[in-house]
Amino acid sequence: MSASNRQVVVIGGGAIGAACAYYLCRAGCTVTLLERDRFGKGCSHGNCGFISPSHVLPLAEPGLVGKVLKSLFHRKSPFRVQPRFDLNLWAWLLQFARRCNRTHLLAGGRAIQPLLASSRRLYDELMAAELTDCEWHTQGVLFVFRSVVEMEAYAESDRLLRDEFGVASYRLSSAEVEAREPALKPGMVGAFHYPGDAHLRPDKLMAAWRRALEARGVTIREHCPLTGFVGPGDTARAAATPAGEFPGDAFVLATGAWTPLLREAIGRSVPIQPGKGYSITMPRPRLCPSLPLIFPEHKVAITPMDSGYRIGSTMEFAGYDATLNSQRLAFLRESAALYLREPLAEPVLEEWFGWRPMTYDSLPIIDRSPRWANVWITAGHNMLGISMSPATGKLVSELITGQPPHLDPRPYALSRF
């Protein structure tokens, strides 16, 4: 069957699902997109909006286990586990700990980098053509340090990025940081600038994706959760939802952190944990940073947007607990105040959380379902869904339509677990 005659149903209305729908449509497929809630309102809505070729290294790095164990159960720490009996979580954490070594770090980075690099190039094309009004900026990201010890420790990671992955950076002295970013308090010991990174406003990106999809004839159905697939043998003929069945020749599961709950539909479990991230969105302060900032010592990020200002990050393993944890929000505010002259502005426009789909090896799953020959899983993009979405969408389109893949899909196989 030619791509022009192929009916594809994409399940999931976040950045990954939107990119899959877009590239499938460009390949000539007729696409319907189903979203369990509202399009673009999940983890793709309130994140920090970084497009980060510099974020090549997996989260599991040498020495991280000891650091995390010291702070894991503290209420005010970048990483937190909500104490509970959850065998899947503890199995996930054990596998994560086993990967905190240089061998796995380098292997993971070599699989992460193609998706990041391809997406960065594709974003330039998309922003020039169809994804307009996203508050897109390409001046890079600044990693800022208060501690000499922490900066020198990070310098090893920067050296690894440069030597093993060719990621360019500039090291700034304390005086250079103060001159480059006056919004920072005096006394920062230095920073690393990654000029290849970019940033945007995520909710405006999702609005732009929607305009582009609808202009190309994609049907978007909201409040339409998947309940399963219907079909004879190993071929699905329709996606079942409370609103009825949606027939298709192929199906894409771009369901993010909800993917583990679709075990029966997929045909096996997937080792994805929901990692809860938080953000606070405000108007721009009078002295607003000109560059996006990351504070590695506190795992907090600052996004200066044309129409606002956001403090975000943290990682909380609390299952699917939908509570907006005020202590996590307080951590963001307190951390920003350590670095910025004007860390906050009023009024607060939004306090938000979203569940990141975390795999223990930091790699996404881009593969066929073991149960259905025509169902594809694309999930587990960790903290890089926005950064990886164009390349993921293009790769999924190529695999479904039989085109030569522009990236090697083998590192993202489900069988690696």
- Identify the architecture of domain 3-416 in CATH: 3-Layer(bba) Sandwich (3.50)
81 compared with 39, residue with greater pLDDT: 39
pLDDT at 69: 60
Q: What is the pLDDT of residues 20-78, one digit of tens each?
A: 999 999 999 999 999 999 999 988 999 999 999 999 999 988 876 666 666 555 666 77
* pLDDT over 60 (residue 375): yes
Q: What is the pLDDT of residues 282-334, one digit of tens each?
A: 999 999 999 999 999 999 999 999 999 999 988 889 899 999 999 999 999 99
Q: Note whether 226 and 348 are within 8 A (CB).
A: no
Both tokens of 59, joined, read 């989260």
Task: Tell me how crowded residue 413 is: count the other CB atoms within 10 A of its CB.
Answer: 13
Rounded average pLDDT over 179-204: 97
* pLDDT over 60 (residue 243): yes
CA 61 – CA 41 distance, rounded (Å): 31
What does 81-122 look like in DSSP terms, one character per residue?
E-----HHHHHHHHHHHHT-SHHHHHHHHHHHHHHHHHHHHH
Mean pLDDT, the chain, integer: 94
pTM of the predicted protein model: 0.95
pLDDT at 85: 83
Rounded average pLDDT over 157-167: 96
Measured in residues, the chain has a length of 417
HEC per residue, 37-55: CCCCCCCCCCCCCEECCCC
- Measured in degrees and rounded to the nearest 5, phi and psi for residue 233 equal 60, -130
Q: Where are the domains of the chain?
A: 3-416
* pLDDT over 80 (residue 4): no
Assign residue 256 a region: left if phi > 0, alpha if psi is -120 to 50, beta otherwise? Answer: left
Assign residue 191 a region: left if phi > 0, alpha if psi is -120 to 50, beta otherwise? Answer: beta
Share of the chain above pLDDT 70, in %: 96
Q: What is the pLDDT of residues 357-374, one digit of tens each?
A: 999 999 999 999 999 999
* pLDDT over 90 (residue 190): yes
Q: How confident is the model at residue 5 (pLDDT cuts 50, 70, 90)?
A: confident
pLDDT at 1: 55
Q: How confident is the model at residue 416 (pLDDT cuts 50, 70, 90)?
A: very high
CA 153 – CA 66 distance, rounded (Å): 15
* pLDDT over 60 (residue 111): yes
Q: Note whether 16 and 254 are within 8 A (CB).
A: yes
